[in-house]
Amino acid sequence: MDILSPAALTLIVLAGMAVLFVTEVIPLAVTAMSGAIVLGAFGVITPQQVFSGLSNATVVLFAGMFVIGTAMFQTGLAQKIGTAVVRASGTGETNLMIAAMLIAAALSSVSSNTGATAALMPVIVGICAAANISASRQLMPLAFGAGLGGTITLIGTPPNIIGNAALKAAGFPVFGFFEFARIGLPITLVGILYMVFIGKYLLPGRQNTVEAAAKADAVLREIGESGNTSQNDRRKMFITGATLLVVIGVMALDIKRFPLEMVAVAGAIFLVLTRCVSEKQAYQGIDWVTIFLFAGMMPVAVALDESGAGQLIADTVISIVGNNPSPYILCTVLFLLSTVMTQFMSNTASAALLCPIGISIAKGIGVSPHAVVMSIVIAASCAFATPIGTPPNTLVLGPGSYRFTDYVRVGVPLVIIEMILSSILIPWIWPFNG
C-alpha cells in the first residue's frame, strides 16, 4: 500500500471509474460508490469521508425535486400544459416543432427532462398522425428541447447542481438559482433556431406514425405516467402547480433561513400530505442512480483535492498548453472534453468527474473557476450526437424510427454551434478575474 502515493492511487481509481462509466459494465451508482470505498480502503480518504456524500445537502435537494417533478406528471399537470401549448400551435410542421421544443424546455427547466419528453411524446405523435406528418420530423427536436431546457435553472439538470456542489466544496461562491439562465436561455434559443432553419432539413422523414403512436404509449405506460387515478384531478393539479411556483420562488429569492434543500423537501412533503403524489410514487420518482452516483463522487472529489491528484492533473494540462495558458482555451478544451464524454456516458457522471478537475486547473493558473465549471456543466447537457447520450434521446429512438447516424447528422452541428456560442458568452458573463 505504501508503494504508490495517494495521488497515484487516486488517479488509478479515477481512470478505472472513467472506463466503467463509459462502458457501463457495472451500474453507474455502483461504480461511484465502489470508487469511494476503494479510496477509503487504501487510506486516501478516511472511513468517515467514504460515505460523507450521502449526508451532503445536495443529495436531499435532488430527492426533494425528484418528488415534486413526479407529482407534476402523476397529477397530469405536465401533460395538460404540454397538450394545450402544442395543440394551440396548429399542425404546421415548423410551428409544431417550435411549440414542442419550447414547452419541453420550459418543463425540463423545473422537472425531469425524461418525464417531460415522455409526457409530450404521445401528444406529438397523435398530432403528427392527424396532420400526416412523419413523427421522425418532430420527436428528435422534442428530445433536444428537453435537453436544452435543463440548462436554464439550478434544478433543471443534475450537472448544474453538481457544479454548484463542487464550487461550494472548494470554498468558492456558488451560482444563483436563475444565474444559469444567463447562458441557458441563449443556447436554448439558438438550439430552437438551429432546428427550425437547419436541423429540420437534416431530419429523416420516415412514415411511421401508427407504429410510433403504439411505441410512445407503451413507453409512457412503462414509466408509470398514465393510468393512475390522480391524473386529471384539477384540485391536485392546482396544488402541484402552486407548490412548484412557491418552491421556485423561495429558491430564487435565496433566503438564508431557507436553504434550497429545505425548501425542496418541504414542497415534496406537502405534495405527499395533500395526496398529489403517493408515498410509493414519491419513492419511485426519485432517481436513485443520480443520488448514489453523486454521493459516491463527492468523496472522490475530496480525494482528488487532498491527495494532490487534482493538482497533478492541473499541472499536466498546464504543461501541455504552456506555462501561461489562456483560460479561454482551457474553457473550450474542457467544454469539448465534457461534451464528448456526455455523448457516451451519464451527464451526471461527466460533470462529477470533470468539475473538481476543472476547479483545480483554474486554481493552478490563478483564475476564477466559475467560467470553467459553467463550461463543463453546460457541455454535459449538450448530449445531442448519440441516442444514448441522454434519456430523452433514447426515449424517442424507437417511436421516431431513428438510426444512430440520424443523431450524428443532426446533433453534431448543434453541439459545435453550442460550443462556439458558450466559449464566447461564458467567459464574458463570468469573467476569469471575477
Mean pLDDT of the chain: 85
| Local confidence band at 138 (pLDDT 50, 70, 90 cut-offs) | very high
CA 408 to chain centre: 20
Cell digits of residue 58: 445536495
Assess whether pLDDT exceeds 90 at residue 353. no
The pLDDT value given to residue 62: 80
Alpha-carbon gap, residue 213 to 99, rounded angstroms: 19
Q: How far apart are CA 19 and CA 26, in angstroms?
A: 11
> What is the Cα–Cα distance from 395 to 292, expressed in whole angstroms?
23
Is pLDDT above 80 for 24?
no
- CA–CA separation, 314 vs 21, rounded Å? 22
Q: What is the pLDDT of residue 208?
A: 52
Q: How far apart are CA 18 and CA 10, in angstroms?
A: 12
Model pLDDT, residue 232: 52
- pLDDT at 197 (0 to 100): 96
Whether residue 209 is predicted with pLDDT greater than 60 in this model: the reply is no
3-class DSSP assignment, residue 333: helix
pLDDT band at 230 (very low <50, low <70, confident <90, very high): very low
Residue 241: pLDDT above 80? yes
| Bigger pLDDT: 288 vs 149 | 149
The pLDDT score that the predictor gives to residue 34 is 93
Model pTM? 0.77
CB atoms within 10 A of CB 324: 8
Task: Pick the closest to residue 217 from 129, 99, 96 (CA basis).
Answer: 129
pLDDT at 422: 95
Report the pLDDT averaged over residues 368-389: 92
Rounded Cα gap, residues 249 and 254, in angstroms: 9
Distance separating alpha carbons of residues 223 and 115, to the nearest angstrom: 9
> Which grid coordinates belong to 39?
479510496
What percent of the chain has pLDDT above 90?
A: 38
CA-nearest of 16, 121, 75, 78 to 395 is 121
Q: What percent of the chain has pLDDT over 70?
A: 91
Q: What is the pLDDT of residue 420?
A: 95
Residue 41 is placed in which grid cell? Answer: 480502503
In this model, does residue 82 exceed pLDDT 90? Answer: no
Q: Which three cell numbers stand for residue 298?
A: 463527492
For 131, the enclosing helix (H) or strand (E) is: helix 113-131
DSSP string, 207-254: --HHHHHHHHHHHHHHTT-SS-TTTT-HHHHHHHHHHHHHHHHHHHHT
Q: What is the pLDDT of residue 163?
A: 94
Rg of the chain on CA atoms, in Å: 21
Sequence letter at residue 344: F
- The burial of 5, by beta-carbon neighbours within 10 Å (0-12 exposed, 13-18 middle, 19 or more buried), is given as middle
Q: Which of 187-196, 197-206, 245-254 has the highest mean pLDDT?
A: 187-196
- State the amino acid at position 272 in one-letter form: V
Q: Minimum mean pLDDT among 30-44, 255-269, 292-306: which range? A: 292-306
Per-residue pLDDT averaged across 90-106, rounded?
Answer: 89
Give CA–CA dist 412/143, Å, rounded: 15
